[in-house]
Amino acid sequence: MSRYRGPRLKICRRLGNLSGLTRKKSKKQSLPGEHGDQSRKPSEYSLRLEEKQKIRFNYGLNERQLLRYIKKAKKVQGATGLILLQILEMRLDNIIFRLGMAPTIPAARQLVNHNHIQVNNKNVSICSYQCKPGDIIQVKQKKSSQVLIKKYLDFPGLLSIPSHLELDKNQLTGKINGIVEREWVAIELNELLIVEYYSRK
């Protein structure tokens, strides 16, 4: 399944606020679809599926990528759900979004693909690049890149920068000081249900 390119507000109405997917807010209160107003008790499977879909759409992953991250998280000692979130939060596109250099994760992905971003003075054009504590994220010394990022920094997607990140607006650089803590993850979900969903696969 390829990356989602359809209407984003419909996804947000179904799954709740996904700050990584879009900044727009829907005025409609009901769920999308013909039977959106009808209340029904969700099954255990649908609850787990919904949590999995939240993480997929928020971080812009396809099914195969998410399954690969789950397998990677299971190999690391500790709570699998928390490790999964930490791996996703350390992706380059997400780091750019959390620094405020892009309004959404798809916008951050475009910045990386178009070679506007450098990591430790090296050009990186891979969105899924895993950043590490100590890495320096820089904007390329090109006028078009600098103007674009400055425009985004004036209207950041999220109000606060997480404690593990540091931003220098004058130099247009960001530094990763550590691994993200659970309370700084900018999406409301139960990661345990995601692990349970994939434990049956």
Query: Residue 71 sits in a domain of what CATH number?
Result: 1.10.1050.10
Q: Does 88 have pLDDT greater than 80?
A: yes
Q: 95 lies in which domain range?
A: 91-178
pLDDT digits (tens, 9 = 90+) for 72-85: 999 999 899 999 99
Q: Is residue 103 part of a domain?
A: yes
Say how many domains are in the chain: 2
Is the pLDDT score of 184 beyond 70? yes
Q: What is the pLDDT of residue 16?
A: 74
pLDDT > 90 in the chain, percent: 40
Same domain? 103 vs 168: yes
Give the predicted TM-score (pTM) of the model: 0.85
Residues 14 and 64 in one domain: yes
Rounded to whole angstroms, how far apart are CA atoms 51 and 8? 17
Say whether pLDDT at 111 is over 80: yes
Position 19 confidence tier, pLDDT thresholds 50, 70, 90 = confident
Residue 14's pLDDT band (cuts 50, 70, 90): confident
Same domain assignment for residues 98 and 138? yes
Domain-embedded: residue 165: yes
pLDDT at 24 over 80: no
Spatial CA neighbour of 160 closest among 184, 183, 177, 139: 184
**Same domain (yes/no): 60, 100:** no
CATH assignment at residue 173: 3.10.290.10
Residue 124 maps to a domain: yes
**Residue 2 pLDDT greater than 60, yes or no:** no
In a domain, 43, yes or no: yes
What is the arithmetic mean of pLDDT over 164-173? 90
Flag whether 33 is in a domain.
Answer: yes
Does residue 96 have a pLDDT over 80?
Answer: yes
- Asked whether residue 49 is assigned to any structural domain, the reply reads yes
- Helix residue ranges per DSSP H, 60-188: 63-75, 80-89, 92-99, 105-113, 143-154
| CA 48-51-54 angle, 5° bins | 150
Mean pLDDT, residues 147-171: 85
Q: Do 153 and 189 fall within a single domain?
A: no
pLDDT at 190 over 80: yes
> In this structure, are 81 and 95 located in the same domain?
no
Q: Is residue 171 part of a domain?
A: yes
Same domain, 77 and 151: no
C-beta of residue 175 within 8 angstroms of C-beta of residue 184: no
Residue 32 domain-assigned (yes or no): yes
Helix, strand, coil percentages in the chain from 3-state DSSP, rounded to 5: 45, 10, 45
> How sure is the predictor about 1, in pLDDT bands with cuts at 50, 70 and 90?
very low
